[in-house]
Structure 1
């Protein structure tokens, strides 16, 4: 089976790395011949994270995407991450769903809200239903959480499958026993695009930090983004991310309560749990399903909740260990590549062959 994969970004882009590139070895081992054509390459992503997207990269990306789409007749299956051409009408997407090949569309963010909730009424009118039409035409929509899956069903998608954003257990070995002396390290891992959430909970850390009981680390945030917070910015790289996570004692994932955040799939929490960390998270989007409050972590809404949750975990190393072990078991059972790749492959094989989806 020949497959054309159209991710949004190169491997440096987290969503594309985790929801497209991560599955390539398993897909190819299962007999899929996969060609990959990202819209925007690593040079664009690196520039974006540094606050200076390279000029011309978007135009080149759109040109290259059009060239890739023109090769669609060679393939049995086309996999699109979110959409083929952002911010343009669905002319290109319509050519991918002409009935001659199977179309799979993958969502791990509520990107449709960039259009249907845009402040400009012209954007809402022109693009507000673009992704609903794409989901309705797709042979399969894979969705990272329940909110995204429900949107696909409401749009009239023929088939919808839950595909959480997962880790590879081969990269995340079982955690070693944790140290119990010194300040407790409270860590966040993400990208510059999500570092702003740290400001919403920064005050909850102040009493513990003033007492010298904690150290706060933000892996993937720029130094200018954590000014005025207790967090130290630490550079992120794919090669070092697991080692950085193993240096945490508690993992956090604050979110705002908006429609955009309802589409978040909780990947940070899955990373933390894979490393045997207890978590504190806002009960928004997939977070509310991933965190079993009091078992593998704690849910926190306002600043008082956050301060209480952090103090509870800082005060009790044994509780941190129990919650971390529970989270690791959850990841091994549900949120790892070793579980999800065979299920995705079975879905795609059935889709191409015309069999009922498992």
Structure 2
């Protein structure tokens, strides 16, 4: 079987890396040839995270290159299947996906966030009018929609997708050591994400964190947040890298994932929680979307909505090392059972083969 993988980004893009690239080794070991063709490279993402403007000529060239790739795939019948991340061309109509469907070129489309809200909730009425139903059209044309949570899967079903399969975001357990390193005297609250999510998520609980850390017994580590200022919070900012992220997480005592309760966040797949849990850490998270499924309140962590609930959860974990250990072990077991690459890879291979075989 030969698959053309059309991702949004290269490996620096978290969704592309976790939802697609990390499966390549397993697929190739099972006689699947995969060609990866990201729409935008890592340099684009670095500029975006830095808040710099992206030259339009770069985007235009990327779109032309992708259109050429798709046309070639259709004309040569070289591939058994196209594996698409979210959509072919962001902020353009679904003409490319419609052409693939018309010409009977099967494609599988993967979603790990509510990208449809980029259109149907856009502040520009023209965008809402022209593209509000775009992702639904992409879903309907796909041979299969793979969704990272129920919010996304239900959207695909309502759109009339032919086939919808649930596949959570997962971690490679071989890369995640369960036993955390020896702890220091300071209780460490850890968060991992991007500059964009840091600005929108950590600021939700910044006042609570400042109050909680006021006695000097606790600190916060933010990995991948970029330049972040949380007044009154003893904060250490670390740059993200694929090589160091696991060791950074293992330096936490607890992982946190605050989220606002809105439609976009309900589409998230909770991957940062899963990473922390894979390292044997308890977690505290907002009860939003898939977080409710990942976090078993009082078993592998706590769900917290208010500042008082966040403070109570962190206080209990700070003051009770044995509880942290017990919850951390429970967290690891849940990841091993439900959120591991080792469990998900055979299932993904079977799903891809079922689609390619039906259209072969």
Specify if TM > 0.5. yes
Q: Tell whether 2:120 aligns with 1:116.
A: yes
Q: Following the alignment from structure 1 to structure 2, what is the Cα–Cα distance between the partners of residues 133 and 174?
A: 42
The answer to whether the Cα contact below 8 Å between 1:165 and 1:267 also exists between their aligned partners in 2 is yes
- 1:64 is aligned to 65
- 2:263 is aligned to 259
The answer to whether the Cα contact below 8 Å between 1:45 and 1:53 also exists between their aligned partners in 2 is no
Q: Following the alignment from structure 1 to structure 2, what is the Cα–Cα distance between the partners of residues 178 and 301?
A: 30
Q: Tell whether 2:177 aligns with 1:173.
A: yes
Q: Following the alignment from structure 2 to structure 1, what is the Cα–Cα distance between the partners of residues 297 and 103?
A: 45
Q: Tell whether 2:163 aligns with 1:183.
A: no
The answer to whether the Cα contact below 8 Å between 1:136 and 1:158 also exists between their aligned partners in 2 is yes
The answer to whether the Cα contact below 8 Å between 2:206 and 2:230 also exists between their aligned partners in 1 is no
Q: Following the alignment from structure 1 to structure 2, what is the Cα–Cα distance between the partners of residues 138 and 241?
A: 34
- 2:142 is aligned to 138
Q: Following the alignment from structure 1 to structure 2, what is the Cα–Cα distance between the partners of residues 118 and 100?
A: 32
The answer to whether the Cα contact below 8 Å between 1:184 and 1:213 also exists between their aligned partners in 2 is yes
Residue 322 of structure 1: SS of its match in structure 2? helix
The answer to whether the Cα contact below 8 Å between 2:210 and 2:231 also exists between their aligned partners in 1 is no
In structure 2, relative to structure 1, the CA distance for the partners of 1:66 and 1:99 (3 Å cut) is closer
- 1:147 is aligned to 151
The answer to whether the Cα contact below 8 Å between 1:226 and 1:233 also exists between their aligned partners in 2 is no
Q: Following the alignment from structure 2 to structure 1, what is the Cα–Cα distance between the partners of residues 229 and 257?
A: 15
In structure 2, relative to structure 1, the CA distance for the partners of 1:247 and 1:85 (3 Å cut) is same
Q: CA deviation at 1:307?
A: 1.1
The answer to whether the Cα contact below 8 Å between 2:254 and 2:282 also exists between their aligned partners in 1 is yes
Q: Superposition pairs for residues 314-329 of structure 1, below 5 Å?
A: 314-329=318-333
Q: How many residues align?
A: 353
Q: Following the alignment from structure 1 to structure 2, what is the Cα–Cα distance between the partners of residues 114 and 145?
A: 18
The answer to whether the Cα contact below 8 Å between 1:5 and 1:34 also exists between their aligned partners in 2 is yes
- 1:228 is aligned to 231
The answer to whether the Cα contact below 8 Å between 2:153 and 2:165 also exists between their aligned partners in 1 is yes
In structure 2, relative to structure 1, the CA distance for the partners of 1:229 and 1:270 (3 Å cut) is farther
Q: CA deviation at 1:264?
A: 0.5
- 1:245 is aligned to 249
The answer to whether the Cα contact below 8 Å between 1:277 and 1:323 also exists between their aligned partners in 2 is yes
Q: Following the alignment from structure 2 to structure 1, what is the Cα–Cα distance between the partners of residues 54 and 130?
A: 27
Gaps of 5+ in 2: none
Q: CA deviation at 1:140?
A: 0.4
Gaps of 5+ in 1: none
- 2:10 is aligned to 10
Q: Following the alignment from structure 1 to structure 2, what is the Cα–Cα distance between the partners of residues 214 and 8?
A: 38
- 2:334 is aligned to 330
The answer to whether the Cα contact below 8 Å between 2:4 and 2:79 also exists between their aligned partners in 1 is yes
- 2:164 is aligned to 160
Residue 173 of structure 2: SS of its match in structure 1? coil
Q: CA deviation at 1:54?
A: 4.1
Moved over 3 A (4+): none
Q: Following the alignment from structure 2 to structure 1, what is the Cα–Cα distance between the partners of residues 46 and 127?
A: 28
Q: Superposition pairs for residues 9-158 of structure 1, below 5 Å?
A: 9-55=9-55, 56-73=57-74, 74-98=78-102, 100-158=104-162
> RMSD of the alignment, in Å?
1.4
